[in-house]
Amino acid sequence: MQPFDDRDGLIWFDGELIPWRDANVHMLTHAMHYASSVFEGQRAYNGEIFRLTDHSKRLKRSAEILDMEIPYTVEEIDQACRDVLKANDLTDAYMRPLAWRGSEQMGVSAQNAKIHLAIAAWEWGKYFDEEKAEKGIRLDIAPYRRPAPHTAPVHSKAAGLYMICTISRHQAQAKGYDDALMFDWEGRVAEATGANAFFVRDGKLYTPIADVFLNGITRQTVIELAKKRGIEVIEKRIWPEELDDFEEFFLTGSAAEVTFVAEAGPWRFTPGDISRRMRQDYDDLVNQRTVNC
């Protein structure tokens, strides 16, 4: 795999496009020591960044939750993302805007640290192996749980919240799984390490309430698509024992898109009509094809 610091291309860095290999920060950058950074993951299809403004707005909100003010408007962030895509001659790409506190101040307090913003884009195919994803991926049960909303800024897409996701996915992959299913602080079903969860039972869609994890933009999109088809969507707290009764399970996310799940710990699922319909509808939407409902 080509390392991400040694590639050709341009990265938008604090207002200008610079060579990819020059987009560096000092080792005493506050974000590297105290996780004071937020980011977005978004995809471009056929030259258009899907729900770009929604991503830019969420980036600004995430920063505000961490007491950071990104010195660019939503409109300026949108345009910077488009400029990155064009400068790198990309039409289908994954994009990563990142905002962080700089190296002007060290210690827990960092009111005087500069807030930086950078945006990179690169070609990135399916998040999960396509052959596995067609049959349904396998999830372990994560050793860590999503934190309670009164213990962490759970509604910010903050880098620090992904530490337990990395650990959980590493452990799952070491055991031969593709990812891990995370429970919340009370032991209820939450999400995978980087994607929201949907279940199917008796023709209805069920998804955990997004109160301790991000209400993903792809999650919102799939809910909208399901409702257009007349599929009832029920947002509820889901306890692990309820997984015995669900027939289908799929994940949603900008990286994962719509990915089928065949196994989660002791539970088994079969990709069915609703899961396949949601994947096709999402694929049609992002590729600007007509979604026939």
Which residues are annotated as catalytic?
A: 157
Q: Distances from the Cα of 27 to the Cαs of 24, 71, 242, in angstroms?
A: 9, 23, 47
* Residue 133: closest CA among 78, 179, 166, 199: 179
Tokens 């991503």 sit at which residue?
A: 55
Tokens 């990812």 sit at which residue?
A: 179
Q: How far apart are CA 254 and CA 40, in angstroms?
A: 9
Q: How far apart are CA 212 and CA 153, in angstroms?
A: 9
Whether 193 contacts 219, CB under 8 Å: no
Whether 262 contacts 269, CB under 8 Å: yes
CA dihedral 190, 192, 196, 202 (to 10 degrees): -70
Contacts for 81 with CB less than 8 Å, ≥ 6 apart: 12, 42, 49, 52, 56, 95, 97, 119, 121
3-class SS shares of the chain: helix, strand, coil, % to 5: 30, 30, 40
